[in-house]
Amino acid sequence: GENVEQHPSTLSVQEGDSAVIKCTYSDSASNYFPWYKQELGKGPQLIIDIRSNVGEKKDQRIAVTLNKTAKHFSLHITETQPEDSAVYFCAASKGDKIIFGKGTRLHILP
Amino acid sequence: DAGVIQSPRHEVTEMGQEVTLRCKPISGHNSLFWYRQTMMRGLELLIYFNNNVPIDDSGMPEDRFSAKMPNASFSTLKIQPSEPRDSAVYFCASSTDGTGLNTGELFFGEGSRLTVL
């Protein structure tokens, strides 16, 4: 089955700097790659997703890139703000179930 | 519009007791997923249903775990007997699509935090 690896597990960046989280997946049939943000005490929420027919997608300060050949994808957050502090999960799917990475705890330092 | 509703939010029980977690998905969603979250293993998919039918239960840890979806608006996850290693946050999520290329956004509930002593 699909296996999603996510790095780093913890990331601290200065407010205003950029943060990058990287993921790899194992199943070449996967074609949908969402990213979820989880705030303390809440369930994860979708923040951005990308499908295998595109290589990059942007939404304001966040962007995702996908390299199908290498089977890896990344989340980029620019101009980080305190409210970006949370746990971020990458995930992969080939159309049925969604398999998540183990998460990255992002700390934004003042 | 109400989101996914889970109950109880917190449960503390003793080893050997039966635990039942409940979920009401968003109205109109046809797929329902149960995930377990721990520090060590992250978010693990336990089981998912499409149109009330269990599609994949390969993530269910062992026979002590069972899940049902008797109708489109209700699902349960039962652990009997419970063990300390079952302590985790259990999330229910629903989606409008569970198959094909139209993989839909998962809407998560706020989770049920289970502690087994």
Q: Name the burial class of residue B100, with classes exposed (0-12), middle (13-18) and buried (19+) by CB atoms within 10 angstroms of its CB.
A: exposed
Which pLDDT score is estimated for B101? 42
Closest CA to A87 of A16, A33, A6, A1: A6
Q: Does A29 touch chain B (CB under 8 A)?
A: no
Q: For the residues A5-34, what does the mean pLDDT come to?
A: 96
How high does pLDDT run on average in chain A? 94
How far apart are alpha carbons A102 and A100 in whole angstroms? 6
Look at A102 and B42 and tell me if their CB atoms are within 8 Å. Answer: yes
Q: For the residues A60-73, what does the mean pLDDT come to?
A: 95
Which pLDDT score is estimated for B104? 75
Q: What is the pLDDT along chain B (117 residues), one digit of tens a residue?
A: 689 999 999 999 999 999 999 999 999 999 999 999 998 889 999 999 999 999 999 999 889 999 999 999 999 999 999 999 999 999 999 998 655 444 678 999 999 999 999
Which pLDDT score is estimated for B1? 63
Look at A99 and B45 and tell me if their CB atoms are within 8 Å. Answer: yes
Q: What is the DSSP letter of B81?
A: S
**Would the pLDDT of A86 be above 60?**
yes
Which pLDDT score is estimated for A54? 82
Joined together, the tokens standing for residue A89 give 């999960």
Q: Does A45 touch chain B (CB under 8 A)?
A: yes
Q: Does B43 touch chain A (CB under 8 A)?
A: yes
pLDDT band at A37 (very low <50, low <70, confident <90, very high): very high
Q: Does B105 touch chain A (CB under 8 A)?
A: yes
User: What pLDDT, in 10s, does the model give residues A38-59?
Assistant: 999 999 999 999 998 888 999 9
How far apart are alpha carbons A99 and B48 in whole angstroms? 12
